[in-house]
A and B are shown apart, each in its own frame.
Chain A
Amino acid sequence: MDHKYLNNMLSEMDKDLASKGLSRRDAMKLAGISGASLLMGGGTTAEASTEEIASSGAKGKIVIVGGGLAGMSTAARLTLNLSNPDITVIEPEAKSVSYQPGQTLVAAGIWDADDISYNRDDFVPDGVKVIEDKVIDFQPNKNEVTTASGQVVSYDYLIVATGLQLDFERIKGLEYAGRAYSSGDNTKLLNALGESGICSLYTAEGAVKTWELMQKSIEQAASGKKTKFVFTHPSTPIKCGGAPKKIVYLTNSRLKEADARENAEIVFYPNGGAMFGVPEYHDAILAQFKREGFKWHYRHNLIEVEPENKIAVFDSKWQEKGEWDPVLKEFEVIAKHEKVRVSYDFLHITPPQLAPREVRESDLGSAKGWVPVNKETLQHVKYDNIFAIGDIAQVPMGKTGGSVRKQYKVLVDNLIAHMEGKPLTAKYAGYTVCPLITSIGTVMLAEFDWTVKPTPSFPLDPTVERWVFWLMKVYALKPMTMYGMLSGRA
Chain B
Amino acid sequence: MQVKFEFVIYDEDLDKFNLDENMYLLELDDEQTETYNLIKDVDLHLYNWFQESEFFTDWIKEEVYPDSIGKKIAIGHINDIAFLRFYFFKVTSGDIHYEYFKRLFNLYHESDWQDREEFGEEILEHLMIKRQELIIELKEDIPEEEEGDDKPDGNDQEASE
Contacts and interface: CB of A to CB of B under 8 A. Distances in A.
B106 interface: yes
Given A328-B85, A396-B106, A333 B94 contact: yes
A150 interface: no
Contact of A328 (B94, B111, B113): B94
Contact of B111 (A277, A330, A331): A277
Nearest to A452: B108
B113 A272 contact: yes
Contact of B84 (A238, A322, A327): A327
B84 A328 contact: yes
A460 interface: no
Nearest to A368: B122
A328 B97 contact: yes
Interface residues of A, number: 29
A272 B118 CA distance: 13
19 contacts: A235-B113, A241-B110, A272-B111, A272-B113, A277-B109, A277-B112, A317-B115, A319-B116, A325-B88, A328-B89, A328-B93, A330-B94, A331-B94, A332-B90, A332-B92, A333-B93, A335-B117, A396-B109, A398-B110
Interface string A22-39: 000000000000000000
A293 interface: no
Contact of B88 (A238, A272, A327): A327
A276 B84 contact: no
Quick one: which of B90, B92, B94, B110 has the most chain A CB within 10 A? B110
Which of B85, B106, B109 lies at the interface centre, i.e. has the most chain A CB atoms within 10 A of its CB?
Answer: B109
B114 interface: yes
Nearest to B93: A328
Given A327-B19, A328-B85, A333 B113 contact: no
A333 B84 contact: no
A207 B96 CA distance: 41
Interface of A: 234-238, 241, 271-274, 276-277, 317, 319, 322, 325, 327-328, 330-335, 396-398, 450, 452
B88 A274 contact: no
B95 interface: yes
A273 B116 CA distance: 11
Interface in B15-72: 19
Do most interface residues of chain B lie in helix, strand or loop, or is the interface mixed? loop
A322 B84 CA distance: 19
A241 B111 contact: yes
A333 B116 contact: yes
Contacts of B85: 328
Contacts of A235: 113-115
A330 B85 CA distance: 11
B11 to A, nearest CB: 15
Contacts of B115: 235, 317, 335
Contacts of B94: 328, 330-333
Contacts of A271: 113
Nearest to A398: B110
Give the top 5 A-B pairs by smallest Cβ distance, nearest first: A397-B110, A332-B92, A277-B111, A272-B111, A272-B112
Given A322-B92, A328-B97, A333-B94, A274 B111 contact: yes
A285 B114 CA distance: 21
Given A322-B92, A327-B19, A331-B94, A274 B110 contact: no
A74 B114 CA distance: 31
A488 to B, nearest CB: 27
Contacts of A450: 108
Nearest to B115: A235
Q: Which of A317, A333, A450, A452: most chain B Cβ within 10 A?
A: A333
Given A327-B88, A328-B85, A396-B108, A237 B95 contact: no
Contact of B93 (A238, A325, A397): A325
B112 A273 contact: yes
Given A277-B109, A330-B96, A334-B92, 16 more contacts: A235-B114, A235-B115, A237-B113, A277-B112, A317-B115, A317-B116, A325-B93, A327-B19, A327-B84, A332-B90, A332-B92, A333-B94, A335-B92, A396-B108, A450-B108, A452-B108
B93 A276 contact: no
Contacts of B106: 396
Contacts of A396: 106, 108-110
A241 B95 CA distance: 23
Contacts of A330: 93-94, 96
B112 A274 contact: yes
A332 B113 CA distance: 21
Given A319-B116, A335-B115, A397 B95 contact: no
Contacts of B113: 234-238, 271-272
Contacts of B84: 327-328
Contact of A276 (B97, B111, B117): B111
Given A319-B116, A327-B19, A328-B84, A333 B95 contact: yes
A238 B92 CA distance: 26
Contacts of B97: 328
